[in-house]
Amino acid sequence: MLGGESIPGQTPLPDVSGLRDPSIRTVSELNACEAENIRRAVVRYLASRPTPRVAPFDEPWLRALHRQMFGDVWTWAGSYRRHETNIGSPAHRIEVEMHGLIDDLRAWERSGMGALEQSTRLHHRAVQIHPFVNGNGRWSRMLGSIWLRRSGLPLVHWPEASIGGTSLIRGEYLDALRAADEGDLGPLLRLHKRFAKAVD
């Protein structure tokens, strides 16, 4: 187990057997390594408006995005978890629910729903399914951001350092996700609006 304490609401690492760099010894070293991997995914998808070909929002691409964000760090990146967790869909249902998420996204788009609400629902549902061993929150927020960027709309610039650590905004964020779990999307939508910023 890596040194450092787990944070409430954060998926604990069951082990480090999938860690590509055995020299990583602390949570801070792991965070730095993951951040660099994620930075490259940010450049790929958010530096300019991605086309539907670059970001097709189909089930294989959803897995590929997680691999692009974490694959330099973890061998299991982009692979669905095979064990049960205290949150998320049952492991045997993950692939079916991911396909369902894409179907829902297409239906929201056809319905005329605003792209920010589509992005919020996408983000919530992806993190609710919790398909991967770890990195689900960051991956889900990235999904929403790419959807907005592909739509040519302002990005949601999440304060990742605060959401990833013990903070008031993390508590507010988790409360908003729980409210969405109960059918009230309002608090999470308001957070999206608060952190939305224009892009060039």
User: For 17-41, what is each residue's pLDDT tens digit?
Assistant: 899 998 888 888 888 999 999 999 9
Question: What average pLDDT does this structure show over 41-55?
Answer: 96
For residue 117, is it within any domain?
yes
Q: pTM (2 decimals)? A: 0.89
Residue of 63 and 30 predicted with greater confidence: 63
Least confident among 4-8, 72-76, 79-83, 155-159: 4-8
| Tokens standing for residue 171 | 């508590």
User: For 89-138, what is each residue's pLDDT tens digit?
Assistant: 999 999 999 999 999 999 999 999 999 999 999 999 999 999 999 999 99
Residue of 1 and 60 predicted with greater confidence: 60
Q: What is the pLDDT of residue 136?
A: 96
Distance of CA 35 to the CA centre of its chain: 13
Q: What is the pLDDT of residue 15?
A: 65
As for how many domains the chain has, the answer is 1
CB 132 within 8 A of CB 63: no
For residue 115, is it within any domain?
yes
174, pLDDT greater than 80: yes
Instruction: For residue 67, give the CATH number of its domain.
Output: 1.10.3290.10
Q: What is the pLDDT of residue 9?
A: 55
Question: What average pLDDT does this structure show over 10-18?
Answer: 62
For residue 65, is it within any domain?
yes
Q: Which residues contact 51 (CB under 8 A, 6 or more apart)?
A: 150
For residue 59, is it within any domain?
yes
For residue 84, is it within any domain?
yes
Residues, the chain: 200
Least confident among 15-29, 42-56, 155-169: 155-169
Q: What is the pLDDT of residue 166?
A: 66
For residue 3, is it within any domain?
no
Highest mean pLDDT among 4-8, 53-57, 162-166: 53-57
- Other CB atoms within 10 Å distance of the CB of residue 139: 27
Could you list the residue range(s) of the whole structural domain that residue 32 is in? 27-197
For residue 20, is it within any domain?
no
For residue 7, is it within any domain?
no
- In the chain the beta strands, taken as DSSP E runs, fall at 155-156, 196-197
